[in-house]
């Protein structure tokens, strides 16, 4: 009996509660199997001897009681395992829901940022811009000294969208360009790449895009 008790001593192992519970169940099952083998050996010994020995009967009764108690422990531990697995399933569901919610919020933030960063630009000669209804000539005397003024009409079909978080250069095939809309002059630079190519470089996107619609006059 002393040897049986010694075999039942468990060493606490590190790990999760779930892992330790499963290990405890495995240890108990092994212990029960060994105890049942011992009971069978003692029963066989009694039958072979043809006598009843009080001490052996008592030992067998104690071992059977021990087996019953350990089987009850396994039932209880299996219940704990089921509960833990249920909690894990619930927590995994919560994590999944939170991840989906975060992904949705990130998409909304990305969409709002893209909306903030987007401008709409159009390029044309004086004639082309007039035909689009974007500019008109005003002022001057006797047809002289007139200047171009924006009409305030903003037909969306006349403009091209551009995300200034991703793009910061507008290339214009012309010798000269002039930004007619009210972008702050310090928010961009005009660079002559070649004789017939000009680039507008956006140096301060946050300032430049405060005016959403950009009207660019191109001339030779």
**Rounded Cα–Cα distance for residues 172 and 186 (Å):** 19
φ, ψ for residue 180 (rounded to 5)? -85, -25
Q: What is the pLDDT of residue 10?
A: 42
Q: Residue 72 class from Cβ within 10 Å (0-12 exposed, 13-18 middle, 19+ buried)?
A: exposed
Give per-residue pLDDT as tens, 98-112.
999 999 999 999 999
Q: What is the pLDDT of residue 129?
A: 93
Average pLDDT, the chain: 83
Q: What is the pLDDT of residue 141?
A: 55
pTM: 0.58
Give per-residue pLDDT as tens, 191-220.
999 989 999 999 999 999 999 999 999 987
Per-residue pLDDT band for 11 (boundaries 50, 70, 90) equals very low
Per-residue pLDDT band for 15 (boundaries 50, 70, 90) equals low
Q: What is the pLDDT of residue 146?
A: 73
- Contact between 151 and 134 under an 8 Å Cβ cutoff? The reply is yes
Cβ count within 10 A of residue 53: 13
**Rounded Cα–Cα distance for residues 154 and 29 (Å):** 81
Q: What is the pLDDT of residue 116?
A: 93
φ, ψ for residue 8 (rounded to 5)? -85, -5
Q: Is pLDDT of 145 > 80?
A: no
Give per-residue pLDDT as tens, 38-87.
777 777 777 766 556 667 777 778 888 888 888 888 888 888 888 888 88
Q: What is the pLDDT of residue 6?
A: 39
Q: What is the pLDDT of residue 66?
A: 84
Helix (H) or strand (E) holding 70: helix 54-117
Q: What is the pLDDT of residue 200?
A: 96
Q: What is the pLDDT of residue 140?
A: 57
Q: How far, rounded to the nearest angstrom, does the alpha carbon of residue 47 sit from its chain's CA centroid?
A: 70
Which of 44-48, 62-66, 93-97, 167-171 bottoms out in mean pLDDT, i.e. has the lowest? 44-48
The SS3 call for residue 18 is: helix
Q: What is the pLDDT of residue 40?
A: 79
Place of tokens 């009080």: 54
Structure tokens given for 220: 């030779």
Q: What is the pLDDT of residue 53?
A: 67
Residues 6+ away with beta carbon under 8 Å from 61: none
Structure tokens given for 17: 């509660």
């Amino acid at each position: 009996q002393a040897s049986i008790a010694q075999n039942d001593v468990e060493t606490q192992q590190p790990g999760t509660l779930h892992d330790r519970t499963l290990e405890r169940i495995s240890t108990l099952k092994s212990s029960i199997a060994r105890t049942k083998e011992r009971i069978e050996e003692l029963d066989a010994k009694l039958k072979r001897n043809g006598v009843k020995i009080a001490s052996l009967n008592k030992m067998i009764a104690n071992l059977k009681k021990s087996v019953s108690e350990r089987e009850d422990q396994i039932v209880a531990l299996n219940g704990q395992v089921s509960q833990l697995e249920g909690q894990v399933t619930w927590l995994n569901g919560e994590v999944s829901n939170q991840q989906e919610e975060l992904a949705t919020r990130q998409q909304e933030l990305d969409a709002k940022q893209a909306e903030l960063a987007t401008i709409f630009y159009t390029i044309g000669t004086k004639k082309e811009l007039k035909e689009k209804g974007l500019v008109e000539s005003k002022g001057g005397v006797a047809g002289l000294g007139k200047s171009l003024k924006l009409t305030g009409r903003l037909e969306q079909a006349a403009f091209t969208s551009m995300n200034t978080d991703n793009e910061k250069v507008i290339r214009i095939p012309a010798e000269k360009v002039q930004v007619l809309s009210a972008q702050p002059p310090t928010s961009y630079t005009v660079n002559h790449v070649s004789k017939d190519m000009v680039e507008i470089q956006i140096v301060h996107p946050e300032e430049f895009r405060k005016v959403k619609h950009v009207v660019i006059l191109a001339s030779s």
